Amino acid sequence: MALDLRLIMRALRLLARQVLLLTVVALAVFAMMKASPVDPVTAYLGPAMARVGPEQTAQIAAAWGLDQSPATQFLRWAGQLLTGNAGHSTAYNAPVTQVLAERGLASLALTGLAWALSGLLGFALGLVAGATEGRWPDRVIRLWCYLLAATPTFWLGMLALALFAVTLGWAPVCCAGPIGLPPDEVTPGQRLAHLALPLAVLTLFGVAQIALHTRMKVIEVLASDYVLLARAQGAGLPDILLRHAARNAGLPALAALFAATGEIIGGSVLAEQVFAWPGLGRATVEAGLKGDVPLLMAIALLTALVVSSGNLLADALARRMDPRLTGAA
Residue 269 CA, chain-centre distance (Å), reads: 8
pLDDT at 298: 93
pLDDT at 1: 56
pLDDT at 44: 79
Helical (H) or strand (E) element with 218: helix 188-222
CA distances from 101 to 44, 97, 215, 223 (A): 22, 6, 38, 49
Q: What length is written for the chain?
A: 329
pLDDT tens over the chain, length 329 residues: 555 777 777 778 888 888 899 999 999 999 998 888 888 888 877 777 767 777 888 888 888 888 888 899 999 999 989 888 888 888 888 899 999 998 888 898 899 999 999 999 999 999 999 988 889 999 999 999 999 888 888 888 889 989 998 888 888 888 888 887 777 778 888 889 889 999 999 998 889 889 998 999 889 888 888 777 777 777 777 777 777 788 788 878 888 888 888 888 888 888 888 898 889 988 998 888 888 899 999 999 999 998 888 888 877 777 776 555 554 44
- CATH tag for 94-327 (out of 1.10.3720.10, 3.30.1330.60, 1.10.760.10, 3.40.50.720): 1.10.3720.10
pLDDT at 328: 45
Name the phi and psi angles at 52, rounded to 5. Answer: -110, 130
Separation of alpha carbons 305 and 298, rounded Å: 11
Q: Specify the domain boundaries for CATH 1.10.3720.10 within the chain.
A: 94-327
Helix axes 293-321, 280-289, angle to 10 degrees: 140
How many Cα atoms are found within 13 Å in the side-chain-facing hemisphere of 97? 7
Helical (H) or strand (E) element with 160: helix 153-160
Strands 88-89 and 94-95: antiparallel
Going through the chain in order, the beta strands assigned E by DSSP cover 88-89, 94-95
CB 121 within 8 A of CB 301: no
CB 205 within 8 A of CB 153: yes
Separation of alpha carbons 174 and 37, rounded Å: 30
Q: Would residue 292 be called left, alpha or beta, if left means φ above 0 and alpha means ψ between -120 and 50 degrees?
A: beta
- In this prediction the pTM is 0.83
Which residues 6+ apart lie within 8 Å of 212 measured at CB?
A: 126, 142, 145, 149
pLDDT at 297: 92
CB 281 within 8 A of CB 272: yes
pLDDT at 125: 93
